[in-house]
Amino acid sequence: TRKGDSFLHYGVDGRIAKAGPNADPASALAVSYTYNALGQRVFKSDARLSGASNPALTTQTVYAEDGIGSTVLGQYGSRRSADSAAPAGEMDNTEIIYLPTAAGPMPVAAQINGRLYAIDADHLNTPRRLTNTQGQVAWQWLITGFGEANPTTGATGYAQSGQGNAAYAEAVKFDLRYPGQVWDDETQLAYNLNRYYDQVSGRYIQADPIGLDGGWNRFGYVGGDPLNAVDPQGLNAVMIANRAAAWVQGAYYRYGPAITEFIAGASGVNGAVVSPMSPLVAQIPTAVSRMTPVVQGIAHGIESGAYCAAKETTDLYRVVSRAELESVAKFGGFSPGPGAMGNKWFAESATDAAAWGKKFYSFDKEAVFTLRVEIPNALASQMMRVPKLDGIGPARSADGQLLQQINSRMNINAFTGNLLP
Whether residue 346 lies inside any domain: the answer is yes
Provide the number of structural domains found in the chain: 1
The answer, yes or no, to whether residue 380 has pLDDT greater than 60, is: yes
The span from the CA of 276 to the CA of 134, in Å, is: 21
* Residue among 256, 302, 248 at smallest CA distance from 280: 302
Residue 79 lies in a domain: no
pLDDT category of residue 361 using cuts at 50, 70 and 90: confident
What are 27-86's pLDDT values in tens digits? 888 999 999 999 999 999 999 877 656 788 999 999 998 878 999 999 999 998 888 888
Q: What is the CATH number of the domain that holds 330?
A: 3.20.170.20
Residue 346 pLDDT:
94
State yes or no: pLDDT of 257 exceeds 60.
Answer: no
| Residue 210 pLDDT | 86
Owning domain of residue 367: 310-416
The DSSP secondary structure of 211-277, one letter per residue, reads: GGGG-S-TTBSGGG-TTTEE-TTSSS-EEE-HHHHHHHHHHHHHHHHHHHHHHHHTTT-TT---PPP
Residue 93 lies in a domain: no
Q: What is the pLDDT of residues 4-27, one digit of tens each?
A: 888 999 999 889 999 998 888 888
pLDDT band at residue 195, thresholds of 50, 70 and 90? very high
Q: How many helices (H) and strands (E) does the chain have?
A: 6, 27
Residue 356, in any domain of the structure: yes
Note the pTM of the prediction, 2 decimals: 0.60
Question: What is the model's pLDDT at position 341?
Answer: 58
pLDDT at position 363: 53
Within a domain: 208: no
Q: What per-residue confidence (pLDDT) applies to 355?
A: 87
Q: Is residue 271 part of a domain?
A: no
Q: Are 355 and 311 in contact (CB under 8 A)?
A: no
Amino acid identity, residue 400? G
Mean pLDDT for the chain overall: 78
The model's confidence at residue 238, banded by pLDDT at 50, 70 and 90, is: confident
Structural domain contains residue 78:
no
Q: Is residue 397 part of a domain?
A: yes
Longest dimension (CA), the chain: 80
